[in-house]
Amino acid sequence: MKIPKLSSDPNEDKARKAAAALALLGLYGLGRSQFDPQAWAVSGGGSTFCKKLEMPGGSWFPPGSSPISQCLINGGNNDIGADYGGISHATYTSSTEYHWQHYMPSSGKLSKLHFRLVTAPGAGCWRQIIIRKNGVDTGLVVRISDADTRGCDLVNEVDYVATDLISAKFSVYGAAAVTKGGWHLEAEDTLPERTIILGGGQFTIAGTRFDLLQGANANSMPVSVESEADAIIPTPCTLKELYVIQDRTSGGGYSYTVRKNAANTALALSITGAAVAGSNLVDEVHFNAGDRCCMRVSPLPATQYPRSHWGLVLVPDIAGEAVIMGGLSVNMVAGTYFIAPPAPGYSSSTHSWQLIGKKKLKKWFIRLSAPPGAGKSLVFSIYKNGVNTGFDVIISDLETTGSNTGDVIDFDDYDRINMIVTAPAGPPAALTAHWGLVQVKA
């Protein structure tokens, strides 16, 4: 028995069958995201064919929408031992894993882990970094041996969901040479046009404290002066889906509030009683480029000092953009400061660097807590592998803000990035700086 054809025209018959198959594939892809039925069309007539109108390669996301591959940059200012570190804006390592377990605010995957050392381990020795999820090793790992100083894992991936705890574990074999190092990896949300902000700190029962929204760690001590924690949003965006976890109950409660330009927003939550975690998946807040942001944490009251981690989702107004925010909370006096861009501190040596991936950096906004003073200037410069890129911001005289929205700097895998600030003699007392940059795909 023969199956009747849909059409007497063989080309049209093939095209319609192909369109039906593509529709079935579209229904399958709908479970992951969305299928746009207008992305395919069948043209009739003597030259019937199935034509692809528009669909991002390798995905089922609607046209003009795709996941953002966000580079999470890190680097240790201390010598790396058999320690733990973070995966986003970590600046050193320590022996307690919880200090570095970032609290994930959404579903996605981690991949493309890169690791670079200042000094090779030496013959017969190795150093290793492995990504951990909820206190368990994953398959995302890099081992650097003998005379090598760099390595990567471009094969393995780690899936995560909201409330997972992610950290990095460092191991050493043999009498490996003492060294500092940096690492970076990619984070990609399951949904299109979303990135993540990860932060945390150790809080006090004595009163309200403020902390950098991105880039702090749960072994740091947040500050009582908000201007010392106010990072700068470098591009229009929306923050939402706030998750917070504590390492213990507080003996009362703590409130966590995202601040915008020194005012509370609705993106807030409280953790009280026997609870150690909370979330706010309802409220969101929009920021413009140049707006200030930080996390405000207040005891309700409390009798315990929790270490807390948080995660938020950032949705950029401009497709494909992610942010790097940080600040220098120490008072700058005359001299040169070597800063890892996300870091809350500084170093007096060029060891203060982090490892960045294949990205472009642009849109640099900076805010000072006080002006340099008449006839004086502060010069901020981005360095790549120890060389000034020319990506500078200069703030002079009675100004407190500056920006560079014209330059775009390319970075590649294994590139070292740091920021150098040159302060003049006799700046105002208690002068601090905070900033934000945009990263996009290279």
- Taken in order 364, 280, 188, 80, the sign of the CA dihedral is positive
Residue 326 pLDDT: 86
For the chain, the straight-line distance linking the first and the last C-alpha, in angstroms and rounded, comes to 57
d(CA 124, CA 89): 31
- pLDDT for the residue 50: 37
Question: Are 307 and 218 contacting, i.e. CB atoms less than 8 angstroms apart?
Answer: yes
| Cα gap 244→255, rounded to integer Å | 10
Give the pLDDT confidence score for residue 194 in this predicted structure. 96
Distance CA 203, CA 193 (A): 32
Token duo for residue 351: 């060891």
Check residue 225 and give its pLDDT. 86
pLDDT of residue 347: 54
- Report the pLDDT value the prediction gives residue 221, as an integer from 0 to 100: 64
Output 14-23 pairs: Cβ under 8 A, ≥24 positions apart: 14/48, 15/42, 15/43, 15/48, 15/49, 15/50, 16/42, 18/50, 19/50, 22/50
For 329, phi then psi, to 5°, come to -90, -5
Instruction: Identify the pLDDT of residue 373.
Output: 87
Cα angle, residue 278 at apex, residues 272 and 281 outer, rounded to 5°: 135
**Whole-angstrom distance, CA of residue 268 vs CA of residue 399:** 32
Closest-CA residue to 254 (of 206, 292, 197)? 206
- Nearest partner of 377 among 396, 391, 392, judged by Cα: 396
Q: What pLDDT is recorded for position 89? A: 82
Measured distance CA(200)–CA(266) in Å, rounded: 19
pLDDT averaged per 10 residues, the chain (length 442): 44 46 42 37 36 40 72 82 87 84 96 96 97 98 98 98 97 94 95 94 84 72 83 97 94 95 98 96 98 94 89 97 84 67 56 84 93 88 93 94 96 91 69 90 90
pLDDT for res 310: 96
Whether residue 439 contacts residue 71, with contact meaning beta carbons closer than 8 Å, is answered with yes
Rounded to an integer, what is the distance from CA 136 to the centroid of its chain? 22
- Domain 69-189 and domain 322-441 have a common topology: yes
For residues 242 and 104, what is the distance between their CA atoms, to the nearest angstrom?
Answer: 10
Query: Could you state, in order of their start, the residue ranges of all structural domains in the chain?
Result: 10-52, 69-189, 195-316, 322-441
Residue 19 is predicted with a pLDDT of 44
Please state, in angstroms and rounded to a whole number, the distance separating the CA atoms of residues 90 and 237: 23
Residue 267's pLDDT is what? 98
CATH among 1.10.760.10, 3.40.50.10190, 3.30.43.10, 2.60.120.40 for 322-441: 2.60.120.40
Torsion of CA 222, 103, 97, 111, to 10 degrees: -120
Q: What is 69-189's CATH number, 2.60.98, 2.60.120, 2.40.160, 2.60.40? A: 2.60.120
Q: If we measure between CA atoms, which residue out of 423, 302, 431, 408 comes closest to residue 360? A: 408
Q: φ and ψ at 98, to 5 degrees?
A: -60, -30
What b/e readout covers 132-164, taking b as 16+ CB neighbours within 10 angstroms? Answer: bbeeeebebbbbbbeeebbbbbeeebbebebeb
CATH pick for 195-316 out of 3.90.920, 2.20.25, 2.60.120, 1.25.40: 2.60.120
